[in-house]
Chains A and B, each alone.
Chain A
Amino acid sequence: MVAAVDIDGRAAQLGINWSEINLDSIQLPPGDDFGIASDDEAVYHEDQSEFDTGFGNIIVVDHLPVVTREKYEKLEGVVKKIYNQLGVIRENGLWMPVDPDTKKTLGYCLIEFNTAQEAQNAKEKTHGYKLDKSHIFDVNKFDDFDRLMNVKEEWEPPQARPYVPAENYQKWLTDEKARDQLVIRHGADTEVYWNDPRQKMPVPVHKRPYWTESYVQWSPLGTYLVTLHKQGAAVWGGADTFTRLMRYQHSMVKLVDFSPGEKYLVTYHSQEPSNPRDASKVEIKVFDVRTGRMMRDFKGSADEFSIGGPGGVAGASWPVFRWAGGNDDKYFAKLSKNTISVYETETFSLIDKKSIKVDNVVDICWSPTDSILSLFVPEQGGGNQPAKAALIQIPSKVELRQKNLFSVSDCKMYWQSSGEYLAVKVDRYTKTKKSTYSGFELFRIKERDIPIEVLELDNKNDKIIAFAWEPKGHRFAVIHGDQPRPDVSFYTMKTAQNTGRVSKLATLKAKQANALFWSPTGKYIILAGLKGFNGQLEFFNVDELETMATAEHFMATEILWDPTGRYVATAVTSVHEMDNGFTIWSFNGNLLYRTLKDHFFQLAWRPRPPSFLTAEKEEEIAKNLKKYSKKYEAEDQDVSLLLSEQDREKRKALKEEWEKWVMQWKSLHEEEKLARQNLRDGEVSDVEEDEYEAKEVEFEDVIDVTEEIVQESM
């Protein structure tokens, strides 16, 4: 998509009056694309291959009874009757050849319809139609006949293609400088960059205009970048440049989702109904990412896909299918009215061929690492039947743990990223039912019998604005209290003295924050004030409980940690008109660089697959960090020296160039001095320079004169 403004701008730049151009009058030379690669090029080719030769509306019906002349008209009548129901047969469109010798028909006829669609329809509907026991129609399109005639009698084994070693899809991980990639979309362009904090700039990797028609998304392990098009989705990746690896046909695809181990891609499309009272139609397809094969598709009205789940798009809450945790992509679940449908990916069918019946279930959530499903059922019967939060093991469908909750108004589930804890935020009504207050139910999944602990805030009337688990850790942060200055509290699930109880670490009073962003490695958190707080950022170290830095990215809409937790990107996207672009910070709040891009739509870091190192090994590295960091510090210094050297050179060159230009001017200015003076009626005009010029003036003065009479002694 190109903004009209861009077109106008470009036109103005080329000196073209845009309004005077008749676009239809422009003819491109055949095969010329002006270097703009069409994103649906491949699909065009596919379409062209089945370009109709003008006989697309003709079908051949075989296996008709062989009849004599007397019965000819009767048979013609029967055939016409059958096919007139399926489409309009053209005038004289039915032709049943007759053997000139026997005067009998040959047992087939050709029918010409008005349109190719009708022909196709007729072919599909009547192929295999039983006229009677011995006459079963064999219907083909006339266009297919050549192809069918050319089928060789003998089977030829398909040629084995030589083995081509696949590219290393993980090559970006082997970057010498251990940089991370990020993708941005702005204007019509989609660009992938290295984040290079040493050079304080993004280093381009790949750029493509019109790469996608709506948005792009990385796969969960970073191997693929998926783009959306009218015809479907495509994934890109590879060793050096982004090449297209696979396409998935799904016309007008709106949303995509990967399974966590990126084996499967789920695509979503919904169509607005022509009658506004109807629900919109939804089609969801599940593809195998590597082979491109469609594994299953689901069709239905939006109602069937729209229960539960927060936010989402109109029509359905995305993702409709939620994938079980872990990287083996074994199960996915769908929530619909009173049922939870859990599918397994071996056969792409329901486990035990049955859905799980849970009356009034409104929300489900997978553990990020295990195949455990948590679900929430609200209160029913005006409070006679309590609300319930439960954990179900898949595929056994055994309920591991459940808890009844009373006078609940709403409930939200938060899994800790390694699946050790589940926090359920419960909003309860006060006795008067006029207001609500919040508390947490904390499940310890990995412990025996899954103990549950209840946590209430110090001031239990505080509203909870945000909640976030420390990734891979045992702490969580809560923003609570009332705007405009809420408090932020940190809790831990285990302390040195007390491993079994949750305890509070600290509360920070009156912070300008409404969102929490933990570093992916834990320990550091950004307390962010988005929207109403104009983009306040506080970089906080939770180990030391101290603020490392406070900063502001005015009007920031997005805060994204890189997958290693070393850098943070904050961005202002095109929801605001001004200052679109992104800023890169170090984890401790040092501003590294800013990049401004008009019409900035999206920024996404390329995820990394989980590390192969064991927790012990990682700890060991962390301990000996000083030893390792020396090498990198030295490298950093070299780079910065080199950069400043280059910078100096460049500046020197610029200065010299300017001096040269100025000198040339000065001489000319000098020559014209007289002319200027004349224009000013003889007034000496060029004081501009003279006034400030230092002149060396030799000055002689007579200080004293004495007369002496020198006597001559002759």
Chain B
Amino acid sequence: MRPILMKGHERPLTFLRYNRDGDLLFSCAKDHTPTLWYADNGERLGTYRGHNGAVWCCDVSRDSSRLITGSADQTAKLWDVQSGQELFTFKFGSPTRSVDFSVGDHLAVITTDPFMERTSAIHVKRIAEDPQDQVADSVLVLQSPEGRKRINRAVWGPLNQTIVSGGEDAVIRIWDSETGKLLKESDGEVGHKKPITSLAKAADDSHFITGSLDKTAKLWDMRTLTLLKTYSTVVPVNAVTMSPLLNHVVLGGGQDASAVTTTDHRAGKFEAKFYDKILQEEIGGVKGHFGPINALAFNPDGRSFSSGGEDGYVRLHHLDPDYFNIKI
């Protein structure tokens, strides 16, 4: 497997997202410009200029026409994917950390960080069909009980009925997306012990995986919030994703960025680790980054995946035929 090295960002990568067809790959980084790539050959298609801060997250609509991005410049922006044109800007008083389109793309959930006096919050916005009609008002605002702790990711639950969030307080919460009521919290005994850094849904919304600095990733039932599986690794987990094709999960991470300089890349364990989703056993690893992995995404066809690192590179891996015959 020979990865394609995509060097378009000057700063550490933060997020990667494939469109539904799996032909386009969006990348976000701490530089200010989200970038669009061909998911097949890694050719750069274009950039989205307009943000004035690190871009933490993005999501693309099902028909690949709209892109939403959340940035540390305290805005979330809607873009026209094809033209790169900025369509609308949601302004918040604090950095936006995560964005996610609902099923049907009529709603978006946006999380904001605790900043100055503001506490962390989850905002639900209505996304208009025609950008001319777009309004900035929130349909719903949810306040986390741990207001000073950042919410690192919030996504829509099945049928947009719930919102699932996870963050620095290591607790996963499920909210009612209509009433804003807190429905469930993850159990402290079995749950994560340290901040949750990442959260990824299964294609059919039945379960999701969370990665945490406590060196584990956990698989949860999206409705009941029961813990299904735990994957233990040796380094803090910054990014997680699941193969849509096989029962595999991928964890990426590495030593804390501040400690990286003290050791060389062999000690840092900057590998994307594959685990068997059911047996919780490690299958293999993909090396290459020389900094912690901050972002992982699987192509919806399950035949390739990409990883983004603190080192500023996106590595696009087309999986070998051998991979599909792994038996353990």
* A654 and B279 form a contact (CB under 8 A): yes
Q: Looking at the assembled complex, report how far the CB atom of B222 sits from the nearest CB atom of chain A, in whole angstroms.
A: 9
A-contact bits for B250-269, CB 8 A (1 contact / 0 none): 00000100010011001111
Chain A residues near B102 (CB, 8 Å)?
A: 679
* A655 and B103 form a contact (CB under 8 A): no
Which of B62, B103, B255, B262 gathers most chain A CB within 10 Å? B103
The reply on B228 being an interface residue by CB < 8 A is yes
Chain A residues near B267 (CB, 8 Å)?
A: 554-555, 578-579
Q: Which residues of A644-673 are within 8 A (CB) of B?
A: 651, 654-655, 658, 661-662, 665, 668-669, 672
The reply on B189 being an interface residue by CB < 8 A is yes
- Report the interface size for chain A: residues with CB under 8 A from the other chain: 30
* A9 and B204 form a contact (CB under 8 A): no
Chain B residues near A661 (CB, 8 Å)?
A: 221, 228
* A688 and B193 form a contact (CB under 8 A): no
Residue ID in chain A nearest B226 by CB atoms: A661
The reply on A620 being an interface residue by CB < 8 A is no
Chain A residues near B244 (CB, 8 Å)?
A: 688
* A10-18, A271-279, A538-546 - interface stretch: A10-18
| A555 and B234 alpha carbons, distance in the complex (Å) | 15
Given contact pairs A9-B193, A12-B193, A672-B158, A655 touches B203 in the complex (Cβ within 8 A): no
* B104 and A679 form a contact (CB under 8 A): yes
Chain A residues near B207 (CB, 8 Å)?
A: 665
Q: Which residues of B48-100 are within 8 A (CB) of A?
A: 62
* B255 and A665 form a contact (CB under 8 A): no
Q: Which residues of A678-693 are within 8 A (CB) of B?
A: 679-681, 685, 688-689
| A534 and B263 alpha carbons, distance in the complex (Å) | 11
Given contact pairs A555-B267, A577-B259, A665 touches B188 in the complex (Cβ within 8 A): no
The reply on A104 being an interface residue by CB < 8 A is no
The reply on A621 being an interface residue by CB < 8 A is no
* B206 and A665 form a contact (CB under 8 A): yes
Residue ID in chain B nearest A17 by CB atoms: B146
Partner among B159, B170, B193, B263 whose Cβ is within 8 Å of the Cβ of A578: B263
B-contact bits for A356-375, CB 8 A (1 contact / 0 none): 00000000000000000000
Q: Looking at the assembled complex, report how far the CB atom of B293 sits from the nearest CB atom of chain A, in whole angstroms.
A: 16
Given contact pairs A579-B234, A661-B228, A679 touches B160 in the complex (Cβ within 8 A): yes
Q: Which residues of B97-119 are within 8 A (CB) of A?
A: 102-104, 106
Q: Looking at the assembled complex, report how far the CB atom of A362 sits from the nearest CB atom of chain B, in whole angstroms.
A: 39
* A13 and B103 form a contact (CB under 8 A): no
The reply on B194 being an interface residue by CB < 8 A is yes
Q: Looking at the assembled complex, report how far the CB atom of A591 sits from the nearest CB atom of chain B, in whole angstroms.
A: 15
The reply on B128 being an interface residue by CB < 8 A is no
The reply on A676 being an interface residue by CB < 8 A is yes
Given contact pairs A654-B279, A661-B228, A13 touches B263 in the complex (Cβ within 8 A): no
* A13 and B279 form a contact (CB under 8 A): no
Chain A residues near B104 (CB, 8 Å)?
A: 679-681
The reply on B278 being an interface residue by CB < 8 A is yes
| A14 and B203 alpha carbons, distance in the complex (Å) | 33
Residue ID in chain B nearest A594 by CB atoms: B234
Chain A residues near B206 (CB, 8 Å)?
A: 662, 665, 668-669
* A578 and B204 form a contact (CB under 8 A): no
| A606 and B193 alpha carbons, distance in the complex (Å) | 35
Partner among B62, B193, B205 whose Cβ is within 8 Å of the Cβ of A13: B193
Which of A14, A534, A577, A665 gathers most chain B CB within 10 Å? A665
Residue ID in chain A nearest B259 by CB atoms: A577
Q: Which residues of B153-180 are within 8 A (CB) of A?
A: 158-160, 170
* A680 and B62 form a contact (CB under 8 A): yes
Chain B residues near A551 (CB, 8 Å)?
A: none
Chain A residues near B160 (CB, 8 Å)?
A: 679
Q: Looking at the assembled complex, report how far the CB atom of A512 sits from the nearest CB atom of chain B, in whole angstroms.
A: 15
| A9 and B106 alpha carbons, distance in the complex (Å) | 40
The reply on A7 being an interface residue by CB < 8 A is no
Which of B104, B193, B221, B255 gathers most chain A CB within 10 Å? B104
Q: Looking at the assembled complex, report how far the CB atom of B36 sits from the nearest CB atom of chain A, in whole angstroms.
A: 23
Partner among A651, A658, A675 whose Cβ is within 8 Å of the Cβ of B159: A675
| A689 and B202 alpha carbons, distance in the complex (Å) | 13
* A655 and B204 form a contact (CB under 8 A): no
Chain B residues near A685 (CB, 8 Å)?
A: 103
Q: Looking at the assembled complex, report how far the CB atom of A208 sits from the nearest CB atom of chain B, in whole angstroms.
A: 23
Q: Which residues of A2-58 are within 8 A (CB) of B?
A: 9, 12-15
Given contact pairs A665-B206, A676-B159, A12 touches B103 in the complex (Cβ within 8 A): no
| A689 and B204 alpha carbons, distance in the complex (Å) | 9
Partner among A554, A596, A658 whose Cβ is within 8 Å of the Cβ of B278: A658
* B103 and A680 form a contact (CB under 8 A): yes
* A578 and B203 form a contact (CB under 8 A): no
* B204 and A669 form a contact (CB under 8 A): yes
* A679 and B255 form a contact (CB under 8 A): no
Chain A residues near B205 (CB, 8 Å)?
A: 669
Chain B residues near A655 (CB, 8 Å)?
A: 278-279
Chain B residues near A669 (CB, 8 Å)?
A: 204-206
Residue ID in chain B nearest A598 by CB atoms: B215
Chain A residues near B159 (CB, 8 Å)?
A: 672, 675-676, 679
Q: Looking at the assembled complex, report how far the CB atom of A689 sits from the nearest CB atom of chain B, in whole angstroms.
A: 8
Q: Looking at the assembled complex, report how far the CB atom of A475 sits from the nearest CB atom of chain B, in whole angstroms.
A: 34
| A681 and B62 alpha carbons, distance in the complex (Å) | 12
Q: Which residues of A145-192 are within 8 A (CB) of B?
A: none
Q: Looking at the assembled complex, report how far the CB atom of A694 sits from the nearest CB atom of chain B, in whole angstroms.
A: 15
* A651 and B279 form a contact (CB under 8 A): yes
Q: Looking at the assembled complex, report how far the CB atom of B111 sits from the nearest CB atom of chain A, in whole angstroms.
A: 21
Residue ID in chain B nearest A689 by CB atoms: B204
Chain B residues near A579 (CB, 8 Å)?
A: 234, 267, 269
| A450 and B277 alpha carbons, distance in the complex (Å) | 69
Chain B residues near A9 (CB, 8 Å)?
A: 193-194
* B193 and A665 form a contact (CB under 8 A): no
| A577 and B158 alpha carbons, distance in the complex (Å) | 42
B-contact bits for A510-545, CB 8 A (1 contact / 0 none): 000000000000000000000000100000000000
Q: Looking at the assembled complex, report how far the CB atom of A29 sits from the nearest CB atom of chain B, in whole angstroms.
A: 23
Partner among B158, B194, B203, B278 whose Cβ is within 8 Å of the Cβ of A688: B203
Chain B residues near A555 (CB, 8 Å)?
A: 267
A-contact bits for B197-213, CB 8 A (1 contact / 0 none): 00000011111000000
Partner among B103, B203, B268 whose Cβ is within 8 Å of the Cβ of A676: B103
| A669 and B194 alpha carbons, distance in the complex (Å) | 32
Residue ID in chain A nearest B160 by CB atoms: A679
Given contact pairs A9-B194, A669-B204, A679 touches B103 in the complex (Cβ within 8 A): yes
| A50 and B126 alpha carbons, distance in the complex (Å) | 77
Q: Which residues of A386-426 are within 8 A (CB) of B?
A: none
| A25 and B266 alpha carbons, distance in the complex (Å) | 48
Given contact pairs A665-B206, A672-B159, A675-B159, A15 touches B188 in the complex (Cβ within 8 A): yes
| A665 and B203 alpha carbons, distance in the complex (Å) | 12
Q: Looking at the assembled complex, report how far the CB atom of B217 sits from the nearest CB atom of chain A, in whole angstroms.
A: 16
Residue ID in chain B nearest A650 by CB atoms: B279
Q: Looking at the assembled complex, report how far the CB atom of B43 sits from the nearest CB atom of chain A, in whole angstroms.
A: 26
Residue ID in chain A nearest B232 by CB atoms: A596
Chain A residues near B263 (CB, 8 Å)?
A: 577-578
| A13 and B194 alpha carbons, distance in the complex (Å) | 9
| A668 and B189 alpha carbons, distance in the complex (Å) | 29
Q: Looking at the assembled complex, report how far the CB atom of A485 sits from the nearest CB atom of chain B, in whole angstroms.
A: 19
| A658 and B276 alpha carbons, distance in the complex (Å) | 12
Please give me the 10 A-B residue pairs with the lowest Cβ-Cβ distance, nearest first.
Answer: A679-B104, A665-B206, A658-B278, A680-B104, A15-B188, A679-B103, A578-B267, A675-B159, A688-B203, A13-B193
Q: Give 26 A-B contacts (CB < 8 Å), ordered by A residue.
A: A9-B193, A15-B188, A554-B267, A577-B262, A577-B263, A578-B267, A578-B268, A578-B269, A651-B279, A654-B279, A658-B247, A658-B277, A658-B278, A661-B228, A665-B204, A669-B205, A669-B206, A672-B159, A675-B159, A676-B159, A679-B102, A679-B159, A680-B62, A681-B104, A685-B103, A689-B204
- 12 further A-B contacts with Cβ under 8 Å, apart from A654-B279, A679-B159, are A12-B188, A534-B266, A577-B259, A577-B262, A577-B263, A579-B234, A579-B267, A655-B279, A658-B277, A661-B228, A676-B103, A679-B106
